[in-house]
């Protein structure tokens, strides 16, 4: 008979070893297991919320950057003109029409 290879001792525990681990865990943490599970669940939920908030912030930042880039491109593509407002242009046009009609 030859000795079992060392790698088998390091491998995954079998069903009997898992049962022993579970029994020991119940003996040590028996009354606290529900509390520990609840705490672990809350921690996972908080972690997921944090990831979601970071992802949303990155998306907002990317959208803002894209909007600013589009606005800059739109400004560059528009022809240069004076800064008068359409309402002022309309009042100037009305004044011209009034002046022409009185002649």
The answer to whether residue 51 sits within a structural domain is yes
The pLDDT averaged over each successive group of 10 residues in the chain (103 residues) is 55 86 85 87 96 93 86 76 54 54 52
Residues 6+ apart with CB under 8 A from 21: 13
For 57, the domain range is 31-64
Rounded to 5 degrees, φ, ψ at 51 are -60, -40
- How far apart CA 92 and CA 82 sit, in angstroms, is 14
Report the domain count for the chain: 1
The answer to whether residue 50 sits within a structural domain is yes
pTM of the complete model: 0.43
* pLDDT the model gives residue 29: 80
The answer to whether residue 22 sits within a structural domain is no
- How far apart CA 43 and CA 47 sit, in angstroms, is 6
* pLDDT the model gives residue 41: 95
- How far apart CA 55 and CA 48 sit, in angstroms, is 10
* pLDDT the model gives residue 67: 84
* pLDDT the model gives residue 46: 96
The answer to whether residue 54 sits within a structural domain is yes
Q: Write out the two tokens for 34.
A: 């529900």
């Amino acid at each position: 008979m030859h000795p079992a290879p060392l790698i088998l001792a390091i491998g995954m525990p079998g069903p009997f070893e898992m049962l022993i681990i579970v029994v020991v865990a119940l003996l040590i943490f028996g009354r606290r297991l529900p509390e520990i599970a609840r705490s672990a669940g809350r921690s996972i939920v908080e972690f997921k919320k944090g990831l979601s908030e970071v992802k949303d912030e990155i998306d907002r930042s990317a959208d803002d950057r894209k909007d600013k880039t589009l606005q800059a491109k739109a400004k560059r593509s528009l022809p240069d003109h004076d800064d008068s407002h359409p309402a002022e242009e309309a009042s100037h046009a009305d004044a011209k029409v009034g002046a022409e009609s009185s002649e």
